[in-house]
Amino acid sequence: MTARRLALAAGRVLACAGRALACAGCVLACAGCGGHAPRHAPSPVAQANATHEYPSPPPPGQTAAHPAPDATAAIRAFATAYINWNALTVSADMRSLAARSVGQARAAVTLAAAQTAGDYELKRGGIANSGTVEAVAPLAAHGRNQYVVVTLESTTATNTTAYQGLQPAWHLALATVTEARPGQWVVSDWQPEN
Amino acid sequence: MVGKRTGGGLLLSGAIATVVVAGLAVAVFALITSVFTQGGTGCSPGPAPATGAGAAAGIVLGPPGTGQLVGATEYGGPGDPSSGVVGSSGANLLQLPDSYAELGGYTFQTATAMGGLPYLTPLRITWGDRSAIAYKRDIGFGGGPIDGLARVLDLWWELAGQLGIPYENGLWSGPVKIARPPQTGAGDVLGQASSSGTAPALIGTSTAEQDPATCAPQAVEGVPVTTADRAQLLANGLAAAPADAPLAVRQMIAAGNQIVGKPYLYGGGHGLALSAIAPSYDCSSSVEHLLYGGGLLPVDYGGPSAALESFGQPGPGQWVTLYANPDHVFMYLAGLRWDTHADGADDGSTGIGWHPLIRTDGGFVVRHPVGL
């Protein structure tokens, strides 16, 4: 158990001790008037003892740079940055994109930034990707903030022939946006499908 | 031209047509090709220029490719009028000369000599020292083996010409190499697309026969998904991944589900590629199998648990946290513990797999993958 978790658990013990005293008083008061013993949700400590699990504290809130005025604009900006890069810029591009997004989208591009930073093959091949966002459409059946994004992309390489002759291809991604504040939209989930 | 296309014409008529036109072929060929040729010089049956203006429209020649040797035929062109010019996909092959047909049947559903590729599937096709990307736009029946190789595809005659294959009025047959080109697009190149790495083998094995060890760690299909914000242990011992988990996390859970219930053996799994499914695992090899599944370790990695003390970055991660020391390694993945016990764990859980309960982490170095 980490020191942080110990401190957290100790705090919860104190809090629950106070709560237990209050509950005891409540039980005594109820007993006097013939009522049933009140049902309480198990305290965090009791729950922890039973399950051996200590709930994590909620993560800190995320803020995104450069929110867009509407959902479509946020997605177009994100998608355009996601598909236009070269081997030398991709890691920085993904880091920048992480700062402009939240949630799973931020985690995904942060991971991409980390992986591409050390991707020797990517750099040695001189691989680049470019494309345009062709369509952004809402997914009516999947909540009002989910969209399908269609892009037309080309992948090229200056130092390998592997991509030579391949035509631009259609690609599809699913995006979810969040209105961080009124009129400030950011991408919160990004899942390329192909 | 043994393989016939459903969109092209009558079976076997190519051979008959060839006999009919054989005497006139040489004289008529130049005249007819001038009609069919858009660029004017690209359909010569002789060796064609490797690049440049001589290439038929849409065909971009590349370097020799590696790949699998298969039997191929050619079709179309002036000596094979019965094949027509419209592929079964509806494409006009004269306008799209970088085309091939998958053989094996009379319908799209039965012409599956290469596994039943979707239309527009690109293949790198190499003959001799020439190579080109071509797209599936047609199907055909096919026939017996060629030089002992399975007959799997039919090359549109203009494509064949650009590869340097001599035009024999649609009767040429021989071996070519085929290979899948790399997947394109940011999602695939960055390894984040759902379809990344899931392309099936071209020929030789059906999906059912395919060795799961060769590709399954890449696959996410079949992984149960939960709307909960943490992974859930299911009654069958498998784990359900949170729907909003990053792809790498879902892939790791998929890899874990592959080996749940394997017996524990000290040293088990080591010495094998991480893409393989070993008969048994120990703590480090099982954790490494999952990390490989998430694209976080190379396939030939095989370090002991102590080596994972320096994996990734220090401290717990948002999704993945490893606990490693020289004696043991385990990890939490989206809130669920992946652990190995030789026999009878003191927390009520045993064996290799997912465990719902936490265990003491004293004496372990805490690490997490970058970004997770």
Burial of B122: CB neighbours in 10 Å, binned 0-12, 13-18, 19+? buried
Output the CA–CA distances (angstroms, integers) from residue B67 to B61, B126, B299, in the order listed.
Answer: 16, 8, 21
Q: Which of residues 14-73 of A touch B (CB under 8 A)?
A: 51-54, 59
Of B56-70, B200-214, B293-307, give the lowest mean pLDDT range. Answer: B200-214
Both tokens of residue B115? Answer: 């596994």
- 3-class secondary structure, B339: strand
Query: Which of A95-109, A116-130, B213-227 has the largest mean confidence?
Result: A95-109
* φ, ψ of residue B227 in degrees (nearest 5): -80, -5
**A62 confidence band (pLDDT: 50, 70, 90):** confident
Both tokens of residue A130? Answer: 């470019």
Q: Give the distance from residue B363's alpha carbon to the nearest chain A alpha carbon, in angstroms.
A: 10
Both tokens of residue B339? Answer: 């652990």
Q: ipTM of this model?
A: 0.71
* Averaged confidence pLDDT in chain A: 78
Cβ contacts of B119 on chain A, cutoff 8 Å: none
Interface test with A, best of B100, B180, B189 (most A CBs within 10 A): B189
- CA-nearest of B255, B232, B242, B267 to B355 is B232
| Eight-state DSSP code of residue B128 | T
Length of chain A: 194
Residue A191 has pLDDT above 50, yes or no: yes
Distance CA B348, CA A45 (A): 20
Of A159-173, B59-73, B88-102, B282-296, give the lowest mean pLDDT range. Answer: B59-73
**B157 confidence band (pLDDT: 50, 70, 90):** very high
Residue B11 has pLDDT above 50, yes or no: no
| Average pLDDT estimate for B75-88 | 92
| Average pLDDT estimate for B149-176 | 92
pTM of the predicted model over 0.80: no
**Whole-number pLDDT of residue B298:** 82
A193 touches chain B (CB under 8 A): yes
- CA-nearest of B119, B45, B123 to B88 is B119
Query: Which of A138-152, A163-177, B303-317 has the largest mean confidence?
Result: A163-177
Contact state of B186 with A83 under an 8 Å Cβ cutoff: yes
**B44 confidence band (pLDDT: 50, 70, 90):** very low
List of residues 6+ apart from A32 with CB closer than 8 A: none
Of B185, B347, B360, the CB nearest to A169: B185
Strands A85-86 and B68-75: unpaired
> From the CA atom positions of chain A, what is the Rg in Å?
25
List of residues 6+ apart from B156 with CB closer than 8 A: B74, B75, B76, B93, B97, B98, B99, B100, B101, B134, B138
Any idea which residue has 């513990």 for tokens? B337
Distance CA B249, CA B275 (A): 17
Q: What percent of chain B is predicted at pLDDT more than 90? A: 25
Q: Which of residues 105-164 of A touch B (CB under 8 A)?
A: 107-108, 110-116, 122, 127, 129, 131, 151, 153-155, 161-164
Contact state of A166 with B244 under an 8 Å Cβ cutoff: no
* Averaged confidence pLDDT in chain B: 74
- 3-class secondary structure, B127: strand
**Whole-number pLDDT of residue B65:** 52
- CA-nearest of B172, B168, B154, B162 to B29 is B168
For residue B61, give the chain A residue with the closest CA: A165
Contact state of A111 with B370 under an 8 Å Cβ cutoff: yes
Give CA torsion, residues A163, A164, A170, A171, to 10 deg: 10
Q: Confirm if B76 and B170 have CB atoms less than 8 A apart.
A: yes
Q: Which of residues 316-355 of B touch A (CB under 8 A)?
A: 316, 318-319, 347
| Eight-state DSSP code of residue B117 | P
**Whole-number pLDDT of residue A65:** 86
Residue B163 has pLDDT above 90, yes or no: yes
Q: Give the distance from residue A84's alpha carbon to the nearest chain B alpha carbon, in angstroms.
A: 8
Q: How far is CA B47 from the centre of its chain?
A: 32
The per-residue pLDDT for range B322-364, each reduced to its tens digit, is: 999 888 889 999 988 898 876 554 444 456 888 767 777 788 8
Enumerate the β-bridge partners of residue A151: A133, A171
* φ, ψ of residue A169 in degrees (nearest 5): -130, 155
- CA-nearest of B32, B48, B37 to B169 is B32
Cβ contacts of A167 on chain B, cutoff 8 Å: 122, 133, 135
Distance CA B27, CA B30 (A): 7
Q: Confirm if B75 and B155 have CB atoms less than 8 A apart.
A: yes
Q: What percent of chain B is predicted at pLDDT more than 70? A: 71
| Amino acid, single-letter form, for residue B306 | A
**Whole-number pLDDT of residue A164:** 87
Sign of the alpha-carbon torsion through B208, B209, B213, B218: negative
Of A17-26, B227-236, B239-248, B256-265, give the lowest mean pLDDT range. Answer: A17-26
**Whole-number pLDDT of residue B102:** 93
Contact state of B248 with A111 under an 8 Å Cβ cutoff: yes
Sign of the alpha-carbon torsion through B308, B313, B315, B318: negative
Distance CA A71, CA A179 (A): 8
- String of b and e for A104-138 (b: at least 16 CB within 10 Å)? bbbbbbbbbbbbbeebeebbebebbbebebeebee
**Whole-number pLDDT of residue B85:** 92
| Average pLDDT estimate for B7-21 | 38
Residue B372 has pLDDT above 70, yes or no: yes
**Whole-number pLDDT of residue B360:** 74
Distance CA A192, CA B72 (A): 35
Cβ contacts of B63 on chain A, cutoff 8 Å: 161, 164
Sign of the alpha-carbon torsion through B79, B84, B87, B88: negative
Q: Give the distance from residue A105's alpha carbon to the nearest chain B alpha carbon, in angstroms.
A: 8
Q: Confirm if B99 and B90 have CB atoms less than 8 A apart.
A: no
List of residues 6+ apart from A141 with CB closer than 8 A: none
Q: Confirm if B305 and B284 have CB atoms less than 8 A apart.
A: yes
Distance CA B239, CA B254 (A): 8
